[in-house]
Amino acid sequence: MNTIKMKIKKYDEESNSIIVCFSSDETTTNNPDDYTEYAFQPTEMYPDITDMEMLKKRIADQGIALANQQKAKEDAKQNTTMINAWKAVVGQTFEYSVNDIINSHSELEVTYVNEVQIP
């Protein structure tokens, strides 16, 4: 991700919150209005910061993770292999020994679509 875009949609006086949405150069659209709104309480979260530009940057910093989550949701919707795998197990019942599950964590190798392959 190279850019994060943030839109402050409104100020809620009752909760002293700003309502913000985010997008990035990696989300499907670069329009923050297309994504989930989040409430931030900047005067409570950052009581010592009075510079507005610094406050906006602090909130945008949190928006990086939120935009990454949105990108992950978009990627998941496009992953027909996993969607079909989940559909195939609907209605089935599974039972595992707790010990087998706990011990299997070190055996699992997880790979991600965007994982870098190093030769």
Enumerate the domain spans of the chain: 4-78
- Mark 61-86 as b/e (b = at least 16 C-beta within 10 Å): ebbeebbbebbeeeeeeeeeeeeeee
Cβ of 93: how many Cβ atoms within 10 Å? 5
Confidence tier at 104 by pLDDT (50, 70, 90): confident
Distance CA 53, CA 74 (A): 30
Cut 0.85: pTM above it: no
pLDDT at 20 over 80: yes
